[in-house]
Structures are given as C-alpha cells and as structure tokens.
Amino acid sequence: MTSTDTNNISDIDSNLKHLYDKDFYQWIKKTSQLMQEGKFQSIDWENVIDEIEGLAIEEKTNIRNNLRVLLTELLKYKYYQSDLSGIELSRIINYQRNIIAILEDSPSLIEYLEEKFDQYYQLAREFAEIETELPIDTFPTIPPFSVETILTENHDPNKILELEDLFFNDDKR
C-alpha cells in the first residue's frame, strides 16, 4: 500500500466519522455499501462497534420496559379491578406480545428476563401503587406470576391467573 493509498483511507475514515456525527442515516448507508463492496479497511469500526453494543442495550431496555408495564397491568387487574375494559386487555396483550416477539428474535434474552423478573416485579408494584392509589402492601412482595405464565400464548389475563393458582398458594403471597 502506497502513502497515497494510506492518505485516501484516512480521508475516507475521517469523512465517514464526520458523516456519523452529521447524518446518521447516510453513515449507515455508506457503511453498508462499504461492507457489501468488501472495503473493510474503509469502515468506521469504532462507531460500528458502538452501534452494535447500543443495539444490545436497546434490546435489554425494550424487554425490561415491556415487562414492567405488563406486570403493572396484571397487578392492577388482579388486585384493583375485576373486569378489564377492551383498552386494558389490549394493553396486556400488546405488552405480552412485544416480549414474546423480542424473545423470538433474541432467544438468549430469556435468561436476562428471568434474571431481572423479580427486580421488575418490585418496580411494577410501585407503579401499581401509584396508578391505583392502593397501599403497596396490597400487592404481594412475592410475584404471583412467573415468566412462563405471563408469556403463554393464551393472552387472557384470567387464564394467566388460573395457571398461576396451580403453581402458587395464596397463603404464600
């Protein structure tokens, strides 16, 4: 490689890094083009790596947020109201399906979901307390749901709760 080639690569790197800061969409298109053309030496690897790591963080955040809202909605249903409106049922189904879709795309995140389940259940208790204005003690400290049952294909909250009754004794809540 000549010094002219090295300068050209440096210019491309510099231009691509500048493009990353100025027009992210164009940076993606140009980076993709360079990859397809096999011009790997011209790729802005530092930002590519940052973006890939950011995607992993985004997936975790996405699953956590959906889990927290789903658990909050299930707690409100179980301990605050006995009948679900269409909107409330729709929210439960939506968040449940969001989590299922994320896990279908990234099955390894089930371990992360199971690891964080209790932590986000406790957070859901706090949100349920705020949203219902019921004392936090209304909501059991031990989750009345498991990962398996909240992710069943049957999206009816009554069925989720019936399944849980098979596994959890009310005296332990």
For 85-138, what is each residue's pLDDT tens digit? Answer: 667 778 888 899 999 999 999 999 999 999 999 999 999 999 999 999 999 999
The values of phi and psi at residue 74, to 5°, are -65, -40
Per the model's pLDDT, the better-predicted residue between 81 and 66 turns out to be 66
Question: Following CA atoms 158, 164, 166, 172 in sequence, which dihedral angle do they give, to the nearest 10 degrees?
Answer: -130
pLDDT score of 114: 94
Question: Is 107 in a helix, a strand, or coil?
Answer: coil
Give the contacts of 163 (CB within 8 A, at least 6 positions apart). Answer: 149, 152
**Residue 55 and residue 57: Cα distance in Å, rounded?**
5
Instruction: Flag the least confident range among 8-17, 43-52, 159-168.
Output: 159-168
Per the model's pLDDT, the better-predicted residue between 5 and 101 turns out to be 101
pLDDT score of 143: 93
Taking the whole predicted model, whether its pTM rises above 0.85 is answered as no
Res 155 pLDDT > 60: no
Per the model's pLDDT, the better-predicted residue between 1 and 22 turns out to be 22
Question: Following CA atoms 126, 128, 134, 137 in sequence, which dihedral angle do they give, to the nearest 10 degrees?
Answer: -50
Which residues of 63-169 form beta strands (DSSP E)? Answer: none
Q: Which of 70, 75, 72, 60 is nearest to 116 (CA)?
A: 60
